[in-house]
Amino acid sequence: MPSLFSAKRLIALLVGMIVLVVLISFSLRDRGNANIAESLIKDVVGFGQSLVAKPTHFVVERYKNIEDFLHTYEENERLKARIQDYASVQAEVQQLQQENAELKELVGVEEDLSDYEPIRATVIARNPDQWDEKIILDRGAVHGVEANMAVMTAQGLIGKVTLVTNRTATVELVTTQNPNNRISAFVAEDETIFGLIEGYDEERRELILRRLDTNANVVEGQKITTSGLGGIFPKGIYIGEVTEVTSDDHGLTKLAYVKPADDLLTLNQVIIASRAMPMVSGVDGQVQEEEVVEGEDSE
């Protein structure tokens, strides 16, 4: 009995192997269509693979998108930093170029001030309430700056020093509304025509040249310069250009409107003119240096 059962098992095993070999050989044949068994197996396996592949692809794509987004964000931040650095460098270069140009122009001004000792200075502050009237420079008493010294740019006169500390100086601009601020001036084309810069027209943004003789031949376009009288402002510093000539309120003298030489709203580099005039003493005949502090108010 046991041997018969073993024989049946052996026969079944051989039959199974034969069937398997036949199926394998049949499946390896070059056929255009799969049989039912192959189709069923392939469809089941394909469905299972699709169930696994779709979520996997979804996760992979989302992870890749997130990774690309992070890389894009980092690259964008680096580009922003470079743009900011470039803008900062460009602004610094422009500022240095402007300062260099101004300093080159100031060298020419220094050469013209043969009787004066020029002191270079930089505008470091302005009072918002007196923007058109005062500026503060980075030079003071330790640099030789004193009150009543003339201040100018390469374009022309801008004002005079009114207050000095050890390391700063306050400058009253020619556009001040201070009624005591007067500048003796003449017409560059005819130095016999004198007048006084007194006052500033805020609406026109122009200086007012008063006390011109009624017979003075002053016309639009003429240049106005300092006369050098008073000892504060050197002679021949350009003040501005005449834009209009009219009579004063009483009709006794003429007045002229003068466009300032420089844009006083954007001042940067300036020159302070320091002058010491030699005076001969009547006691021993020795030459002594005596600082001129005479104000233009006396004119």
Percent of the chain with pLDDT over 70: 62
Parent domain of 192: 113-299
145: domain CATH number is 2.40.10.340
Give the N- to C-terminal CA distance of the chain in Å, as an integer.
Answer: 150
Q: What is the pLDDT of residues 126-163, one digit of tens each?
A: 877 777 789 999 999 999 999 999 998 888 899 999 99
Q: Buried b / exposed e across 7-32, counting CB within 10 Å, b at 16+?
A: eeeeeeeeeeeeeeeeeeeeeeeeee
Instruction: Tell me what the mean pLDDT of segment 63-75 comes to.
Output: 70
Side chain identity, residue 247:
S
184, part of any domain: yes
Segment 232-256 shows an average pLDDT of: 87
Q: Where are the beta strands (DSSP E) in the chain?
A: 117-126, 134-137, 150-152, 157-164, 169-173, 183-187, 190-201, 206-212, 223-226, 238-247, 254-260, 269-274, 276-280, 287-291
pLDDT tens-digit readout, 82-93:
776 666 666 666
Does the pTM surpass 0.85? The reply is no
**Is the model's pLDDT at 209 over the cut of 90?**
yes
* Domain membership flag for residue 59: no
**pLDDT for position 295:** 43
What is the rounded CA–CA span in Å between residue 288 and residue 24?
127
Looking only at the bridges linking them, the beta strands covering 238-247 and 276-280 are unpaired
| More confident of the two residues 293 and 185 | 185
The verdict on residue 146 lying in a domain is: yes
DSSP 237: -
Q: How many Å apart are CA 137 and CA 178, to the nearest integer?
A: 20
Within-domain flag for 64: no
Mean pLDDT of 25-47: 60
Round to whole Å and give the CA distance between 225 and 152.
12
Query: Which residues are CB-neighbours of 155 under 8 A, at least 6 positions away?
Result: 105, 238, 261, 262
**Residue 192 confidence class, pLDDT cut points 50, 70, 90:** confident
Residue 167 inside a domain? The answer is yes
How far apart (Å, rounded) are the C-alpha atoms in residues 200 and 241?
Answer: 14
For residue 297, the model assigns a pLDDT of 44
- Is the pLDDT score of 231 beyond 80? no
Does any domain span residue 189?
yes
pLDDT score of 50: 64
What is the structure's pLDDT at 58?
66
Domain assignment present for 32: no
How far is Cα 158 from Cα 264, in angstroms, rounded to an integer? 7
Give the pLDDT band (50/70/90) at residue 111: low
pLDDT band at 259 (very low <50, low <70, confident <90, very high): very high
Give residues with Cβ within 8 angstroms of 176, minimum separation 6.
132, 133, 134, 159, 200
Q: How many distinct structural domains can be found in the chain?
A: 1
Assess whether pLDDT exceeds 80 at residue 280: no
